[in-house]
Structure 1
Amino acid sequence: MATLLHIDSSINGDNSVSRAVTKTFREAWEEQHPKGTVIYRDLAANPLPHLDGLAYHTQYVPIPERTPEQVAAFALRDELASELESADAVLLGAPLYNYTIPSTLKAWIDHVIIMERTAGENTTIAGRPVTVVTSRGGSYRPGTPMEGNDFAQSYLEWLLTGALKLEATFIVPELTLAPVVPAMSSLVGLYEESVAKAHGDARAKATDLATQLAA
C-alpha cells in the first residue's frame, strides 16, 4: 500500500492554517488508502538539530571508510533520507515566516539533501509527487504591495523541482492574519475564500494522487 510522508512546521498549533489544510489532505489520502502508511514529523514539537560539519562532510566519505564517529553523526541524515525515499508521496506544511520558510523546515531539508543520493543527476526520489501547503499572513500576489517578497515558494519551487527533481504542487492559503489584525478586517472575506479554496484543492490533490498511485 502507498506511503505518505507528512511534515508540519507551523508553530501555531490548532490555530495554524497550514496544519488545518495538511490535515484535510491527509484525511482525504487516508480515505483512499485506509491500509496505507503515514510517516509523520511535527518539526515544531520535535525540532531537528541543525546540520553540523561532521554530519555534512560524512556524505563524501565512502561507507566502508567511515569512522564510528562519522557513522553516528550521519545516522539521523540516513534515517530522514530513508523516510523520504520510502514515501510514494510527500506533504509539506510550510508557512511563510519572515518572508521565507521556518528554520525547522530548513533543518529537515539540510539533512535530507545528500549528494549522489537524494540530490544529483541520479537522485533516488526523482518524480516523487510533493504537495506544499505554504500559508501566508498577507497577500504577495502580482499587483499587491508585497509582490516579490515571498521567498518561501520561490525557494521551494527551485529546490524541490530543480535540485531534487520532484513533482511539486503548491497550495497557497493567504491573508491568514486578517481575522486577528484589526487593520486587515476588510480582508476577512477574501481570507475565507482563500482558505476554503485551499481545503478544496487539498482534498482534490490527495484524491488525484491516490488514483494515480492505484493505477
Structure 2
Amino acid sequence: MSLFRLDASIRTEGSASRAIADIVEAQWRDGAPDAPVTRRHVGTEPLPATAWGDAVNAAYTPAEQRTAAQTEAVALAATLTDELVDAEALLLAVPLYNFGVSQHVKNWVDLVITDPRMAPGQPPLLAGKPAVLVTVHGGNYSAGTPREDWDHATGWLRRILADVWQLDLTVVTREFTLVGVNPALDEFTAMAEELKADAEREAAEHGHRLTTARRVAA
C-alpha cells in the first residue's frame, strides 16, 4: 500500500491544508504502517513555470530536434505521472487562493496531462484509485452563504480528478480558516470551531477509507 501526497500551500508553518491532510495521512498510516509515501510540495517547491509550454511544443517536435528545455519538460511530466501511477492511494492538500486554483497546482495538472499516457483516448491509468482532496477556505463559501459561488477551484479539481482521471474521489473542506486571523470574522469564532471539528472528523474517516478502499479493490 503506497501513498502519493501533494501539498500546494505556500506556507511552511501554520498551513491549515497540511494540518487536515496530516490527519488523513495519520489515519491511513494506521492501516499501512510500513508503506512508502511519495511527496510533492508544489507550493514551496514549485515546478518550472515554462515547463508546460516546453512539454506541449515537444509533442510536435521529433525527439532528436527537441531543445534541452523541451527534453527536460517531457522527462518531468513523465516523472510526475509515474508518481501517480505507482501509488495505490492519493492525497492532495490544495488550499483556495484568490477564489481559484493556484498556479502551482494548475501547472502540475497541465504537465501531467502532457504525458502521452494521459492523453485523451488512452486507457485511464488512474481509474478507480482512492483519492482524498483536502481543500481549505479562508472564508465560507458553502451553500447558502453570500459567497457560495466564489469557490472556483473545487469544481475544477473535481472535473480533473474524478471525471478526467477517474479517481475514486472524496473531498474534505474546511471553511473559515481566517477566523482568529482577520478581526472582521471574529463573530464567526464558534462556527469556525465547529467547522474545523467537522473537517477533522471527516479527514480521519477518509484516511481510513484510503486504506480499506484499496484492499477491497485488490
The answer for the alignment partner of 1:32 in structure 2 is 31
Conserved in 2, the CA contact under 8 Å of 1:6 and 1:39? Answer: yes
Moved over 4 A (4+): none
Correspondence list, 1:8-27, <5 A? 8-27=7-26
Shift of 1:13: 2.6
Query: Counterpart of 1:151 in 2: which secondary structure?
Result: coil
TM-score, L = length of structure 2: 0.90
Once the two structures are superposed, residues 57-111 of structure 1 have per-residue CA deviations (whole angstroms, 9 ceiling, x without a partner) of: 33466xxx52264433311111011101111111111111000122111111111
Conserved in 2, the CA contact under 8 Å of 1:179 and 1:185? Answer: yes
The answer for the alignment partner of 1:112 in structure 2 is 112
The answer for the alignment partner of 2:171 in structure 1 is 170
Shift of 1:9: 0.9
For 1:7 and 1:124, the matched residues in 2 are separated by 18
Conserved in 1, the CA contact under 8 Å of 2:88 and 2:130? Answer: yes
Query: Counterpart of 2:136 in 1: which secondary structure?
Result: coil
- Corresponding residue pairs, total: 211
The answer for the alignment partner of 1:144 in structure 2 is 145
The answer for the alignment partner of 1:45 in structure 2 is 44
Cα RMSD of the aligned pairs, angstroms, is 1.7
Query: Counterpart of 1:6 in 2: which secondary structure?
Result: strand
Query: Counterpart of 1:117 in 2: which secondary structure?
Result: helix
Supply the AA of the counterpart residue of 1:118.
M
Query: Counterpart of 2:9 in 1: which secondary structure?
Result: coil
Shift of 1:33: 0.7
For 1:198 and 1:74, the matched residues in 2 are separated by 38
Shift of 1:16: 1.3
Identity %: 34
Shift of 1:119: 4.2
Supply the AA of the counterpart residue of 1:44.
G
For 1:182 and 1:211, the matched residues in 2 are separated by 42
Supply the AA of the counterpart residue of 2:63.
R
Supply the AA of the counterpart residue of 1:120.
P
Conserved in 2, the CA contact under 8 Å of 1:120 and 1:164? Answer: no
Report the CA distance shift for 1:169/1:190 in structure 2 as closer, same or farther (over 3 A). Answer: same
For 1:22 and 1:205, the matched residues in 2 are separated by 10
- Structure 1 stretches lacking a partner, 5+ long: none
Report the CA distance shift for 1:13/1:53 in structure 2 as closer, same or farther (over 3 A). Answer: closer
For 1:128 and 1:119, the matched residues in 2 are separated by 18
For 1:108 and 1:205, the matched residues in 2 are separated by 24
For 1:192 and 1:60, the matched residues in 2 are separated by 52
TM-score, L = length of structure 1: 0.91
